[in-house]
Amino acid sequence: MKAFVLRSFGSADQLELREVDTPVPGPGEVLVRVRATSVQPYDWHTMRGEPYAARLLRGGPGFRRPRLAILGADIAGEVAAVGRDVTLFRPGDAVYAMPKGGGFAEYACVRESELAPKPGNLSFAQAAAVPMAANTALIGLRDQGRVQAGQRVLVNGASGGVGTFAVQLARAFGAQVTGVCGTRNLELVRSLGAHEVVDYTAADLMRTGRRYDLMLDIAGGRSGWAYRRVLTPAGTLVLVGGPPGRWVQPAGHVMAAMMAAPLMSARVALADVVACTENRQNLATLSGLIEDGRVSPVIDRSFPFAELPAAVRYQEQGHASGKVVVES
């Protein structure tokens, strides 16, 4: 099969299109013909081996060499073959998943327990936009944020991959949603259901005088300690992301906020999609919301498979409005 193989840590120039062996599904595994994948910060952090501090972690990008040869955290496609003991899927089924790697290829092997049927009303490209970004927003709002109907929810970084899902999910959970984004995305974020929008280039979020029950911090423009000023005393700050950096960011932003938590009246929690063990159940929940028409992926740009490195370079600029997808 054809795959983009990561030669060594570095830029998207290190992604080389090669002919490699097609994986063979083992017991409990499913071989998926990848029809679309999506690109997100997780991919280029892993590609660069950044932040460097993450190289010390078990399950990180690797120390001297990439742990993963083939990146690509999200896939949508058709079941090509099933391994022994697989009972839920058969060849030809349309599926999607968050394998956390392996998506930048023609075929990927996924554990049956990680795979879900593709929402019937989405194309493969749309479905590939969903898994990691929407799952992160779901974990952040529902599990860590314990969002309740009627609460005032602030989504900081509302126009990117995670944010466009977070605005729609918060709205679907019955919250009063305020989205923070740049000028060119104000209309987009409103159209996703935000009751209010704040332009981060024109207004200081800390000086609006508004307080929120729950803040999902995706962009991380200010410190967690500073955010106490926009939270109600019993509010919750859920940390998702932060500014990229070479040594410790965005993890440094998240860790600093966790360290400040004991000094804050607000509850501080972390959304960590990589550690999530409920991916299949969460994809089923998301499929329900998508098929009901309450959530819909926003695609900024789609690239053909042969131009996958260009898709990564585009996503790395940090200004995607929604998701960047790659179609085979």
Ligand X SMILES: NC(=O)c1ccc[n+]([C@@H]2O[C@H](COP(=O)([O-])OP(=O)(O)OC[C@H]3O[C@@H](n4cnc5c(N)ncnc54)[C@H](OP(=O)(O)O)[C@@H]3O)[C@@H](O)[C@H]2O)c1
Summarize as ranges the residues that interact with ligand X (CB under 6 A): 40-42, 132-133, 136, 156-157, 159-163, 180-182, 185, 200, 218-219, 221, 240-242, 250, 271-274, 318-321
Of 182 and 252, CB closest to ligand X = 182
Closest distance to ligand X from the beta carbon of 280 (Å): 17
Closest distance to ligand X from the beta carbon of 44 (Å): 9
Instruction: Please return the burial class of 294, using the count of CB atoms within 10 Å of its CB with bins 0-12, 13-18 and 19+.
Output: middle
Tokens of 153: 């929810």
Of 22 and 223, CB closest to ligand X = 223
Closest distance to ligand X from the beta carbon of 74 (Å): 11
Q: CA–CA separation, 78 vs 89, rounded Å?
A: 10
Pick from 296, 310, 303, 315: which is nearest to 36 by CA? 303
Of 7 and 246, CB closest to ligand X = 246
Tokens of 24: 């063979």
Of 163 and 235, CB closest to ligand X = 163
Closest residue to ligand X using C-beta atoms = 160
Closest distance to ligand X from the beta carbon of 77 (Å): 21
Q: What are the C-alpha distances in Å from 10 to residues 2, 170, 223? A: 21, 36, 29
Element (H, E) at 170: helix 161-172
Closest distance to ligand X from the beta carbon of 128 (Å): 13
Tokens of 310: 């260009």
**Contact partners, residue 153, CB within 8 Å, separation at least 6:** 141, 145, 147, 170, 175, 176, 177, 178, 212, 213, 214, 215, 216
Rg of the chain taking only CA atoms, in angstroms: 19
Of 77 and 161, CB closest to ligand X = 161
Of 28 and 182, CB closest to ligand X = 182
Closest distance to ligand X from the beta carbon of 57 (Å): 14
Of 7 and 229, CB closest to ligand X = 229
Q: Are 175 and 137 in contact (CB under 8 A)?
A: no
Closest distance to ligand X from the beta carbon of 319 (Å): 3
Closest distance to ligand X from the beta carbon of 215 (Å): 12
Of 82 and 188, CB closest to ligand X = 188
List, in sequence order, every beta strand (DSSP E) within the chain.
2-6, 15-19, 29-39, 74-82, 94-97, 107-111, 115-117, 152-156, 176-181, 196-199, 212-217, 231-239, 267-270, 299-304, 323-327
